[in-house]
Amino acid sequence: MTATEAYRYLTHLPGVGPKSAFCVMMCSLDHDVFPVDVNVQRVLERLGTLRKGLKHYQAQKIAPKFVPSGRSKELHVGLVEHGRRVCVPRRPKCHTCILVDLCRHGRIVEKKHRTG
């Protein structure tokens, strides 16, 4: 089954939306797709990869373009974990973040912390 066929099939099931379909495709059907959840979107926005304020469906369409082929699953899992533990919605832990030098948001927070 192709990725397109799997996506169409899954999203036609009751209660299965795009994110769930992509997660099933990635984890259970071994398709190289990149699900974007709130954690992934937040981290990518703060890093400057995605424009802030995108609707979820827009982020889901744009984000996979930045993911190297064959790296979707490990990047997705890594960004989800990072978003849950370090790059949290409120009061992100920028001072402990390994990506702070690459992160627009983190550089601003760290600059305020040093001067403030």
pLDDT for 52 equals 93
3-state secondary structure of 93: coil
14: left (phi over 0), alpha (psi -120 to 50) or beta: beta
DSSP string, 54-92: --HHHHHHHGGGGSPTT-HHHHHHHHHHHHHHTS-SSS-
Count structural domains, the chain. 2
pLDDT for 116 equals 60
60 and 106 in a single domain? The answer is yes
* pLDDT of 22 above 70: yes
The first and second tokens of residue 44, run together, are 């990518």
pTM of the model: 0.89
111 and 56 in a single domain? The answer is yes
86 and 106 in a single domain? The answer is yes
84 and 29 in a single domain? The answer is no
Q: How far is CA 89 from the centre of its chain?
A: 13
45 and 82 in a single domain? The answer is yes
Query: Domain range for residue 2?
Result: 1-33
